[in-house]
Amino acid sequence: MRWLVLPPHRDFTLQVEAPAGWQVLDVGRQFVDSLEAPGLLAREAAARLEEGALEAALQLQVAEVLLSRPGLPWHSRLRALGAALAGVSRPGGVQLRLDDLELPDGTTESSADLLRGLARPAPYDAALEAALAALVGASAVRLRLTQDQQLPAALALASRLPGAVPLELSGSFAAAHAQVLGRMPPFARAVLAPDDEVIERAGGLRWGEGPGAWGGPVSLERLCAPHALADAGCQLAVIAFCGIHGGEVLATDGSSVSLEALRSAHAALRVRGVRVVAEWWVGAPGLSEAAHLASERAFQTAPFLDWLAGVRTYHGGREHAPERFGGVPVRWLAPPSGHDLARNRPFEAAGSVTGGALRSLQIALAQRLMALAPASPGRVAGAYAIPSEVPSVPPREGPLTLDRDCAVVQMPSKLSGEGAPTWYAANLRTGSVFALDARLAPTLAGLRGPAPAAEVLPLVPEEKREAALQALISRGLLERVHG
């Protein structure tokens, strides 16, 4: 049998259809699905408590509560899986998030770092073992690599695959970095294979342009031809922009298009049933903090999209390295020494926000924009393809329930490790974590549906109850629902 193998840690929300004659073995999805096995997260949480990893134990308990909640919205499920992935990652091993992976002593941008840490433990090791057992008698194995986060798992698989089994590499990442990958011993015997017959889908929608309805990345320039885009079958356009200035929107390659043209295009696309989802890449060459704040104001007064999925750090220079970015001269630098699998290149440009100032700016912008709509759980196709559950304006009165992204759990002590057993509320959408009064917490933890205020906080005097409820609503523990 010929196997098209999808190593972790890829975008598991993408379902892959293999070319004729091949069977798909999605190791990454199998691993993520295994996190929802009955009792697994509870056992992992208990193990983290034994190790003294209290924050990881909290993440796992919250994830377990949310994933067991009936009717959990899709985006809330992704947030819970993200918490579970972080919680099962142990110190000294590969660290997972919903849409990323980190090595404890290096980077996936360095082949030397990857090879040096080939034996490091990873949360998905059991899934790799099961995959290897299935691949022993294969007539061919093709590892599909679309991002560098898959490399630790792919190298582990390739290094342990029997030499008699023919090995191939495919996917966009493998094609872009074939020379470097070919010098890595586990991949030395692999042959680069085509990838054009593979189809990916997210939320039932073909991901990437092709026959029929599709969704995926679209340039700002192409978005400005809305009818041609819709005629081509696009139902979801995912765009990225760096800023807005003087009526122009700056694209990630340094070019710009008219804000008014984008607004008109968006209106035309909505008529055709096409959604537009965007990422804001902050920290592009030459954009000062003041320019970012001006862009924020311009965006809020003249939106040109359906949903701003999130704010991310600007990355560029590997495929597009223009001499001028938005009119500002740019000096592109070589990647750090040893980064032979670099995703981007550093740059120097007058006025740019860098370092800690950039990180602080990114956090501040993200927090303010979350007031308009929840951010994406992560940079995964399934979060874009399935519309975000943007909450309607909540009623001022009426029954209450736990926030869809919040869980109330009891820890054996404070997160500092001191004190007696403590109840915590944690909201994965807002990042809020706070201790609760032990007299009130069990009732809140037991909420299973909308309830009147007197049942939610029965021990709080009526004259103080409304103020207490408003405080819990503002912190993301409760939400009002229409009765």
194: Cβ–Cβ under 8 A, 6 or more apart, which residues? 170
pLDDT tens-digit map of 52-68: 999 999 999 999 999 99
61 in any annotated domain? no
Provide the total of helices (H) and of strands (E) in the chain, helices listed first. Answer: 18, 26
Contacts with 371 (C-beta within 8 Å, 6 or more apart), sequence order: none
Shared-domain flag, residues 156 and 215: no
Task: Decide if 218 is inside a domain.
Answer: yes
Residues 11, 128: one domain? yes
Within 13 A of 106's CA, how many CA atoms are on the CB side?
22
* Same domain, yes or no: 144 and 278: no
DSSP H or E segment with residue 243 = strand 243-245
CB within 8 Å of 124: residues ≥ 6 apart = 8, 9, 27, 28, 31, 96, 153
Any domain includes 40: no
- Residues 149, 222: one domain? no
Domain final position from 354, 385, 416: 385
3-state secondary structure (DSSP) of residue 266: helix
* 198 domain residue, yes or no: no
Under 8 Å between Cβ of 275 and 344: no
pLDDT at 449: 86
Do 129 and 271 have their domain in common?
no
Instruction: Measure the CA–CA gap between 73 and 456, rounded to whole angstroms.
Output: 22
Task: Compute the Cα dihedral for 69, 70, 73, 77 and give only its sign.
Answer: positive
Structural domain containing residue 243: 203-385
From CA 203, how far away is CA 14, in angstroms rounded? 8
- The sign of the CA dihedral 428, 430, 435, 440 is negative
Rounded distance between C-alpha atoms, residue 188 and residue 168, angstroms: 10
Number of domains forming the structure of the chain: 3
Domain check: are 320 and 407 in the same one?
no
Residue type, 466: E
pLDDT value, residue 372: 83
* HSE-CB for 91 with a 13 A CA cutoff: 7
Which of 192, 217, 242 lies at the terminal end of a domain, its last residue? Answer: 192
Segments of the chain with pLDDT less than 50: none
Looking at the domain assignment, is residue 49 inside a domain?
no
Please give the C-alpha separations between residue 100 and each of 9, 32, 85, 151, 170, in angstroms, as whole numbers.
Answer: 7, 14, 10, 12, 20
Do residues 369 and 251 both lie within one domain? yes
CA dihedral 231, 235, 236, 242 (to 10 degrees): 20
Alpha helices in 322-439 (DSSP H): 355-369, 381-385
Q: Are 151 and 115 in contact (CB under 8 A)?
A: no
pLDDT score for 302: 82
Q: What φ, ψ does residue 102 adopt, rounded to 5°?
A: -130, 145
pLDDT the model gives residue 127: 98
- My answer on whether 370 and 326 are in the same domain is yes
Q: Could you tell me the CA-to-CA distances from 414 to 42, 63, 407, 408 in Å, in that order?
A: 19, 19, 16, 14
State residue 390's pLDDT score: 58
pLDDT at 318: 79
| 153 and 266, same domain (yes or no) | no
Q: What is the pLDDT of residue 481?
A: 84
Q: Are residues 376 and 406 in the same domain?
A: no
Residue 233 zone, left/alpha/beta (φ > 0; ψ -120 to 50; rest): left
Indicate whether 264 and 379 sit together in one domain. Answer: yes
Is residue 83 a part of any domain in this protein? no
Residue 392 lies in a domain: no
- The token duo for 77 is 């499920």
Pair (329, 473) in one structural domain: no
In a domain, 413, yes or no: yes
